[in-house]
Amino acid sequence: MTNNSEKTLPNDVDSDYSLPGRLEESNSNIFVYEENKPNSNGRSYFLIFIVFIVISSGFYLFYFVNQEDIDSQIIESTLNLTPEQILVNQYDVGEYGSEHAHAAIAVIVGDTKLNFGLPQFQLTSKYIHFENENPYLIHKHAVNVPLAMLFTSFGMEFTSDCIILKNNESVKNKKFCAEEGDSLIFYVNGKQFTSDITQYVFHHNDRILISLGSEESISKHLKHLESLEIFDIPNRVPEYPENSITI
């Protein structure tokens, strides 16, 4: 006779934990419940947002501080402007023909005067230039044109004690610097000019001296500059008795 106890199904309370293969779960005391971890995605997104705001603010601040330079660079690259047109925009130069002024200039190294009557110095800029082989008379054809536009047009630069000629390959000595006891001095209308001479915008009949040498020679250079005639229609001017630098 069959034992009825063998056919008795397990009680519900034992059914789950007594099944084969669930030995590890048969003791509820050692059953480990996995805790729900807090969602960290929200915090990550927030940090990314903060970083984005900080970086964006930095770019905006940089653009705000340098807006004029950045905009001008964008315009220059977009329009493919010439070097002269870039300077026209930089100095807010007026329309061609908005002014007509002449000035006399002398650049003298020691007792040698640079000869701006040579071809490489003639008509190098539309707005400010030498012409008709005249070695000293500057023509200006618009308002707000600084001397920088003249010097840049033929590659002349100045340091605290040197005159540099960059764009003239035929120059044997491209850099003229003050020797011991000498100095580079600027004069406008007989008075020493202590600001940046390249930023000076001359007026009609101005006389400009750039002297690299001893202070004792200044009076002689000023006297020579004063002797130069400023006229509206420049004529061919003969070379002066001073030596000329062949450039």
Q: What mean pLDDT do residues 208-214 have?
A: 96
Confidence of residue 48 (pLDDT cuts 50, 70, 90): confident
Q: What value does the mean pLDDT of the chain take?
A: 80
Q: Write down the pLDDT at residue 8.
A: 57
Domain boundaries, the chain: 10-80, 101-245
pLDDT confidence of residue 243 = 45
Q: pLDDT band for position 50 (50/70/90)? A: confident
Q: Which residues contact 32 (CB under 8 A, 6 or more apart)?
A: none
By the 8 A CB rule, do 157 and 151 touch? yes
Task: Determine whether 171 is exposed, middle or buried from the number of CB atoms within 10 Å of its CB (0-12, 13-18, 19+).
Answer: middle
Token duo for residue 19: 């099944």
Q: Residue 42, SS3?
A: helix
Asked whether the predicted pLDDT for residue 179 surpasses 80, the reply is: yes
Query: What average pLDDT does range 4-19 have in this prediction?
Result: 54
CA dist 220 → 180, 215, 223, 225, 226 (Å): 20, 10, 5, 9, 10
The number of CA neighbours under 13 Å toward the Cβ of 193 is 19
Only one residue has tokens 């106890």, namely 5
